[in-house]
């Protein structure tokens, strides 16, 4: 009997998420009450957009009287080398609290920095999973890009360009102490980042939802709540980037997309992310784009094992009820692709100038790491090859 | 222009909920790893059902090697006098950690005990709101009755029979450090408690949802996720009390019903609870029953102000789309009542032998406290009188 046909129970789980979320217009002004006293703070940020959109000024104003240093230049797909420069400054300046101001990349980089400062060995051991993080500097965030959910979890993804690697780690020690989310800070996001973030949120939910049923109807509907909201609110944000309500709903959806409440007791996938990370490592493809390219192919390739959930998704999210099971599933995948395309997200490798033949080394990466993907651990290197070919 | 017609934004909010949830079969065995070392523990419990259903034995087995005392006899609607006896013992025995084993009443009582131990004045000041709790003993729970959500919040309700009062308080200091939820412990619940708990969960969600729209589509759908799940799973639990999946889903729904995630940024009501508490204080009516009696009348009495949300509820939860707005709302209220009745919950005061004329003192209680109820603060004592009359 196939595994998916067995009667399976909700998995036992432990859930704890102590991040304090401070949400809404003008919430950056609450920073002084949230920060610990008498600590030297490092503000980390990215390429400088916070200096153009007024966020930097708000932060500096709120930090009056606090002792802080700055570390800018954390790039999209935060680089190991850049983060290690911050580690040096922290040690020299006796910094004891990190405040990430920016998007998921800045925060992910800051989480890695917080753990790397406290680790005696080669810090690349952390994202490669050679060691488990045992302590980290305390950190917090002012999140200005709804996407990764990093503001309410202990996850981080770090890249190392010179060896073409992009690796994820998770630790209870790198949850932000607090995260400030002011939707107004997202008004000035370029369309490209807005769309990448929307797709990232959508795919985060699907990674936790589109597997097989283990009797978790509440978690399923909580996941569907996020998908419905993203589908409804995304066009509003694109039509009017200054629509506070729509920006707020997209922002809160992104946080719930990966605060891991919807993953309680369920079986997760994450193969789209793992393959997507390799596309980013190899070609510099934006994270959101890599997901939009791969997820439809994963759905189609694993339609047998994911079939029941895909039908539920077709029915509840897209209102599709007519046709054979195979037809319903295909219609749901097409609807997903159409949604991505409707907000300006291209969904084929060829749209980004990437040819399948250029991806030939990717399956070998998983082979080398001894990693098998998917909720059934049945997506082997040769399957990764096929999924990439389907995404041409 | 009516307030509800104004364009209103999602409210700014702060959310933090650090309770560690340990969920699933046999999870009580994890107790030793969760408890702090070298503290004297007090186990609190209720009327002794935990000694019949095996939970007590599991706890005592897990506590081997820990230093603990016991305090039993916390009643449904935990009484101030009973709790104060525990306070005396704690002081005498130098207890420094409380472990509540049982339902919401045991945990609510334990939260009050934890705060009262640390308060120098008359502890009745705490539930009456005369003081704000500034510290409390650390506490945790093993929750065996899905209902109050107390396992994942800082709320407590305390009663004082001799003066006929039932009062609620909330504090960040009385969140459990952890809560263990093993659905198997709920198999032996009497039907009455199972049904009370289901209705309590349903009404908790409605108190946070059935108000007016402030542009919170995600929170709305998260609330509807719980309502859908409760409606689907309740009959299964009643049909087979040993159905693990259904018990687990009811239990997780109860936790989400009042972990306050769905109240982020929304406008809340709580008038059904406030009036219900007075029915319990006056007649000893079960909490769940008091809610089932009052909520339909609140919906009907405030159908003008709650109308848009009631129509959304009618449509999304009950699939009602035909008829005038008034007809749709009335159909939704009838469906709600039918759901309660279908699981064996009576919904009229007369079903419990209570006559409206016996409730004549209740509106005066709110008058005396200077409390006006409802999301618009427009349910005055004379409105409470009418709502009770509609519940005859």
Interface probe for A, chosen from B14, B179, B181 (most Cβ of A below 10 Å), is B14
- Distance from C-alpha of B225 to C-alpha of A225, rounded to nearest angstrom: 7
Over residues B314-323, mean pLDDT: 98
Q: Is the pTM of this model over 0.95?
A: yes
User: Does the pLDDT of residue A87 top 70, yes or no?
Assistant: yes
pLDDT digits (tens, 9 = 90+) for B147-162: 999 999 999 999 999 9
Alpha carbon A70 to chain centroid distance? Answer: 25
Is B14 within 8 Å of A25 when comparing Cβ atoms? no
Q: What is the pLDDT of residue B7?
A: 57
Cα within 13 Å of Cα(A70), Cβ side: 13
CA angle B113, B115, B120 (to 5 degrees): 105
B190: number of Cβ within 10 Å:
10
Q: How far is B226 from chain A (nearest CA, A)?
A: 6
Which of A186, A218, A224 should we substitute to test contact with B (largest number of B Cβ atoms within 10 Å)? A218
Instruction: Look at the block and give the residue holding tokens 């309740």.
Output: B234
Domain borders along chain B are 3-11+190-390, 26-181
A225: distance to nearest CA of chain B, Å?
5
pLDDT value of residue A7: 57
Answer yes or no: do B9 and A249 touch at CB < 8 A.
Answer: no
Q: Give the list of residues 6+ apart from residue B159 with CB closer than 8 angstroms, or none.
A: B77, B78, B79, B80, B165, B166, B167, B280, B281
Q: Please determine, for residue B282, whether its predicted confidence score (pLDDT) is greater than 80.
A: yes
What are the tens digits of pLDDT across the range B289-303? Answer: 999 999 999 999 999
Judged by CB atoms closer than 8 Å, whether chains meet at A11 and B17 is answered as: no
**Reduced DSSP (H G I as helix, E B as strand, rest coil) percent helix, strand, coil of chain A, to 5:** 55, 10, 35
Output the CA–CA distances (angstroms, integers) from residue B91 to A326, B116, B137, in the order listed. Answer: 67, 11, 11
Please count the helices (runs of H) and the strands (runs of E) in chain B. 14, 8
C-alpha torsion angle, residues B180, B185, B190, B196 (rounded to 10): 30
Instruction: Find the mean pLDDT for residues B193-199.
Output: 98
**Span between the terminal Cα atoms of chain B, in Å:** 34
Question: Chain-wide mean pLDDT for chain B?
Answer: 96
How far, in Å, CA of A392 to CA of B20, rounded? 44
- Which CATH architecture does the domain made up of B3-11+190-390 adopt? Up-down Bundle (1.20)
CATH topology of domain A26-181: Rossmann fold (3.40.50)
Average pLDDT for chain A: 96
- Asked if B8 has any chain A CB less than 8 Å from its own CB, the reply is no
B233 touches chain A (CB under 8 A): yes
Cα–Cα dist A324/A345, whole Å: 29
pLDDT at A130: 96
CA distance A293 to B335: 44
pLDDT at A260: 96
The pLDDT of residue A48: 87
Provide the CATH number for the domain formed by A3-11+188-390 in this structure. 1.20.1090.10
Most A CBs within 10 Å: which of B218, B246, B265, as the mutation test of the A interface? B218
Shortest CA gap B263–chain A (Å): 13
Is any Cβ of chain A less than 8 angstroms from the Cβ of B337? no
A vs B, Cβ pairs < 8 A, gives 130
Structure tokens at B121: 């004045």
ipTM of this model?
0.96
Above 60 in pLDDT, residue B2? Answer: no
C-beta separation of A101 from A59 below 8 A: yes
pLDDT in tens, B335-385: 999 999 999 999 999 999 999 999 999 999 999 999 999 999 999 999 999
**pLDDT of the residue at A153:** 98
């Amino acid at each position: 009997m196939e595994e998916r046909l067995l009667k399976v129970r909700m998995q036992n789980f432990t859930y704890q998420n102590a991040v304090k979320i401070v949400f809404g217009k003008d919430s950056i002004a609450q920073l002084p009450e949230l920060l610990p006293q008498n600590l030297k703070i490092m503000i980390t940020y990215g390429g400088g957009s916070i200096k153009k959109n007024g966020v930097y000024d708000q932060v500096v104003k709120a930090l009056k009287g606090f002792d802080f240093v700055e570390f800018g230049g954390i790039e999209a797909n935060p680089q190991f080398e850049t983060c290690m420069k911050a580690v040096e400054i922290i040690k020299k300046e006796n910094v004891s609290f990190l405040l990430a101001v920016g998007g998921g990349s800045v925060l992910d980089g800051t989480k890695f920095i917080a753990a790397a400062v406290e680790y005696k060995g080669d810090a690349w051991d952390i994202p490669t999973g050679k060691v488990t993080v045992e302590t980290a500097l305390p950190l917090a965030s002012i999140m200005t890009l709804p996407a990764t959910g990093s503001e309410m979890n202990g996850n981080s993804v770090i890249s190392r360009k010179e060896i073409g690697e992009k690796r994820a780690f998770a630790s209870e020690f790198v949850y932000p102490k607090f995260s400030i989310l002011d939707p107004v800070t997202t008004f000035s996001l370029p369309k490209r980042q807005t769309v990448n973030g929307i797709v990232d949120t959508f795919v985060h939910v699907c990674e936790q939802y589109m597997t097989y049923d283990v009797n978790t109807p509440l978690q399923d509907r909580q996941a569907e709540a996020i998908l419905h909201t993203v589908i409804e609110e995304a066009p509003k944000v694109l039509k009017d980037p200054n629509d506070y309500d729509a920006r707020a709903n997209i922002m809160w959806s992104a946080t719930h997309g990966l605060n891991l409440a919807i993953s309680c007791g369920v079986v997760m996938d994450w193969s789209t992310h793992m393959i997507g990370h390799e596309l980013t490592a190899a070609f510099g493809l934006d994270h959101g784009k890599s997901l939009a390219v791969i997820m439809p192919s994963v759905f189609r390739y694993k339609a047998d094992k994911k079939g029941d959930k895909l039908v539920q998704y077709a029915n509840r999210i897209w209102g599709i009820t007519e046709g054979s099971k195979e037809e319903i599933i295909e219609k749901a995948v097409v609807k997903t692709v159409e949604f991505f395309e409707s907000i300006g997200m291209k969904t084929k490798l060829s749209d980004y100038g990437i040819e399948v033949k250029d991806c030939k080394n990717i399956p070998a990466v998983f082979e080398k790491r001894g990693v098998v993907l998917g909720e059934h651990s049945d997506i082997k290197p040769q399957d990764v090859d096929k999924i990439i070919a389907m995404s041409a």
